[in-house]
Each structure stands twice: as structure tokens, then as C-alpha cells.
Amino acid sequence: MIRPIVKFGDQVLHREAAKVTDISADIAALVQDMIETMYAAPGVGLAAPQIGVPLRVFVVDVTGGRSRDSLLAFINPEFVEREGMQLEEEGCLSVPGFNATVARPSRAAVKGIDLEGRERTVEGTGLLARAFQHEMDHLDGRVFVDRLRGIQRDLIVRRIRKLTRSGKWS
């Protein structure tokens, strides 16, 4: 089932998500809904808080669905290591219409649990590393706008406030 994506300003996006305590049928259904929602958006990643569920779960597919072998789902993920530096433009399904250049490590290894309850570690570079870090930010109550500084951040936040006041950001 495709679920609505919450937007910047919704409180669920601005607080830390809770750990999943049991990989139940409900969690499996949540992950399936997240996958369908991500592909429909379309996006390359989606965290549970983005659909209003404050749990530590995310899905990523940097091929955008062109290669289902690239689909990854993590429950209770954590970073094993990060290194390097990349400066690339990012956008977010929860901040539609806005992009900005964000500095992030160029390599990231993430450890988490898959839907079968097995621990899994995946290392990513480039876009995959960026997607891991972007989705982990969502689990920690952050969006890419929070990583911006100065005028760049202020402009985006002011535009979103203006859209909110006019009823065009809901």
C-alpha cells in the first residue's frame, strides 16, 4: 500500500525514531509499504518516519527500481564506519521541490537486521553511501535541511514557512 509522505515541519521528522523490538508481520507489512511508496514517489530511499511511523527502519534502492537486486531494507541500522568526503546535491521526498549541496562521507558501512531477522552489513560508496546517511539522519530526527548553514538553510526554511502559511505545504 502506498502511504502519504509527511513533509518538513511534521514533528515525526524532527525526533529520534524508536528501535524495533520484534520483527513481526506488522513490520514486514511496513517495509513492503515503504518499498511501494518509495518507488511510487519516485525516490531512492525512504525512512519509516517519512510515512509517519517513528521506528528505526529504512529502505534504499539507488537504481530507483531498475534492479530489484539493489533493494536494501534495514531494521535498527547503525553505522559501522564512515570515511572520506563528498559534496553532492541532495533532495528529499519530505522536502519536495528543494535541493542543496550537502557534505557527507563518501563511504559508509551500515549494520542492521533484514526481514528474516539476520544481521547484515553493507558497505556503500558514492550515492549508496549518501543514501544510507540521508536515511539514517531521518531515523535520528534530522532532514538534509538541518545539515545546511547560513543563508542556504534560511532561504529554504523561509520558503517552506511561506508555503505553509498559504496552505500549499500540507
Q: By the 8 A CB rule, do 104 and 130 touch?
A: yes
CA distance 90 to 55: 23
Q: Look at residues 34, 121, 15, 32 and name the one whose alpha carbon lies nearest to residue 76.
A: 121
135 annotated active-site: yes
7-41 burial, b if ≥16 CB within 10 A, otherwise e?
bbbeebbeeebeebeebeeebeebbebbbebbbeb
Which stretches within the chain are classed as H helix?
25-40, 126-139, 150-165
For the annotated catalytic residues, the residue numbers are 135
